[in-house]
Chain A
Amino acid sequence: MEEVPHDCPGADSAQAGRGASCQGCPNQRLCASGAGATPDTAIEEIKEKMKTVKHKILVLSGKGGVGKSTFSAHLAHGLAEDENTQIALLDIDICGPSIPKIMGLEGEQVHQSGSGWSPVYVEDNLGVMSVGFLLSSPDDAVIWRGPKKNGMIKQFLRDVDWGEVDYLIVDTPPGTSDEHLSVVRYLATAHIDGAVIITTPQEVSLQDVRKEINFCRKVKLPIIGVVENMSGFICPKCKKESQIFPPTTGGAELMCQDLEVPLLGRVPLDPLIGIQEFCNLHQSKEENLISS
């Protein structure tokens, strides 16, 4: 992957190869010839690869730290409880890949075979891929600009040998930027079932999530629904509920009513008791997803 200049206008922009910042870039001639404007062959290759993947679900938020990766991991585990269902979990958070840690797969490496990169299998029917597996140390920072991140996502979708998959769950970073545009663009012709959007109850999250919902509508990505995470805290000692993240503006429920998107459920913050409840809540969410 060649280095691109700091102010790269983008290979598919009208200024490609012509902008001031293009001077000296190894790709300048290529971009100026209009090659960037021609359809990316990777899209076709990814469409072909995705033929063995029945359902694709993106887990989005807009807001960071709401529990996208946690939810993605639990959803993957929950769906994989049926041994006859093949699940793939793809982590496209290039700068902050949390999935390896959450899945207990830190330190695992990715192997290459003739048919592409092999995902890391946490169970026979649950394969995982993340940039985290490509880093040699937990201190390694991935300091990449947009074009390089896009290249990685393209490789994840085109070069990973997922095999026959019933559900591909894609965990995304926060925001509405390169990674999100790229994954939607690359998977557009392969059909995405939809997005599950995670939020917490408070307005500071909801204001970002409304943007994310608008992003989905802009790029014509169907919205399966919203999950409100960290919704109430049960004290392990007295069992009484408190609102650590109060829904001062009506929480996800009101936002979903206003924007006419389904509210799939609420997940409490319950560090001690929650694991079983959490899984049960996810069972019902999975049933929603499977039927939608």
Chain B
Amino acid sequence: MEAAAEPGNLAGVRHIILVLSGKGGVGRSTISTELALALRHAGKKVGILDVDLCGPSIPRMLGAQGRAVHQCDRGWAPVFLDREQSISLMSVGFLLEKPDEAVVWRGPKKNALIKQFVSDVAWGELDYLVVDTPPGTSDEHMATIEALRPYQPLGALVVTTPQAVSVGDVRRELTFCRKMGLRVMGIVENMSGFTCPHCTECTSVFSRGGGEELAQLAGVPFLGSVPLDPALMRTLEEGHDFIQEFPGSPAFAALTSIAQKILDATPACLP
């Protein structure tokens, strides 16, 4: 199924956002999930494409692990997470027979699956498709961007944590975006401080300030800092909707503000 030959399954998707980092473990999947939930709470129809083939985290974060993927006449049907079908998900996690099975593939095989994921999932009409990526700047990233290029993604949201070792990798990721012709919508600094629940002292567990400094240095927007929030951690472990369940918690304000900035940065569609 060549993307150039026919509109394909992404024709009904209005805006595509990639969530990148370069550094592992900074919270790309968390931010992808929460951004999708926040956009959905703002009344948008959202899909999430999880192209982390080795470590697909998103099914569990949304309580969807073990769900089956069905074929329809247009390809694979994404897994809908709600009755209203306002949020859907596709991940290699759904294709694994056993959750502990390792996907031990070299680049070419990963590229082939990513192409399929991009072209063969029948998303239908979506306002936003959030694409979660694995860490690095390699096969998966190049394959994803090349496969999505005909659909003109809105851009990339780049996630970092405050400390130098993350910022170092994220600088490289910004270079990658530039080389691949992918616009950087902004930087999100995750795990930005922890407020002790016993005494309310805020500690910069992973140092501080790196994300904002990097945004200034690189001349890209700084979208916000998300603090370490045990309520957020728990809902991700348990697969619940954090945006719905914890409106008073520290990370909620940051995440909804980031979603609002994405909404504001989205060009209005032609009727």
Contact = CB atoms under 8 A, between A and B. Distances in A.
B183 interface: no
Contact of B205 (A145, A174, A269): A269
Contacts of B230: 242-244, 246
B164 A176 contact: no
Interface string B105-145: 11110111000000000000000000000111111011100
Given A98-B168, A139-B171, A242 B196 contact: yes
B172 interface: yes
Contacts of A233: 194, 203, 205
A235 B237 contact: no
A187 to B, nearest CB: 16
B111 A237 contact: no
Contacts of A181: 104, 106
A176 B102 contact: yes
A124 interface: no
Interface in B83-114: 99-108, 110-112
A213 B55 CA distance: 13
B179 interface: yes
B165 interface: yes
Contacts of B19: none
Contacts of A215: 102, 104
Interface stretch (A41-49, A202-210, A275-283): A202-210
Interface string A171-204: 0011111101100000000000000000000111
B245 interface: no
Given A101-B165, A237-B199, A271-B203, A64 B100 contact: no
Interface stretch (B20-28, B67-75, B255-263): B20-28
Given A207-B99, A211-B102, A143 B137 contact: yes
B236 interface: yes
B139 A240 contact: no
B107 A145 contact: yes
A142 B199 contact: no
B164 A101 contact: yes
Interface in A220-262: 233, 235-238, 240, 242-246, 248-249
Given A6-B111, A63-B55, A141-B137, A244 B106 contact: no
A147 interface: yes
A237 B196 contact: yes
Contact of B194 (A63, A212, A244, A272): A244
Contacts of A65: 23-26, 135, 161, 166
Given A64-B23, A176-B54, A240 B107 contact: no
A245 B233 contact: yes
B171 A244 contact: no
Contacts of A214: 100-102
B201 interface: yes
A245 B136 CA distance: 23
A72 B84 CA distance: 48
Given A177-B110, A269-B205, A212 B102 contact: yes
Interface of B: 22-26, 29, 54-55, 57, 60-61, 99-108, 110-112, 134-139, 141-143, 146, 161, 164-166, 168-169, 171-176, 179-180, 194, 196-199, 201, 203-205, 228, 230, 233-234, 236-238
Given A181-B104, A203-B237, 7 more contacts: A63-B24, A176-B102, A181-B106, A208-B54, A240-B199, A244-B233, A246-B234
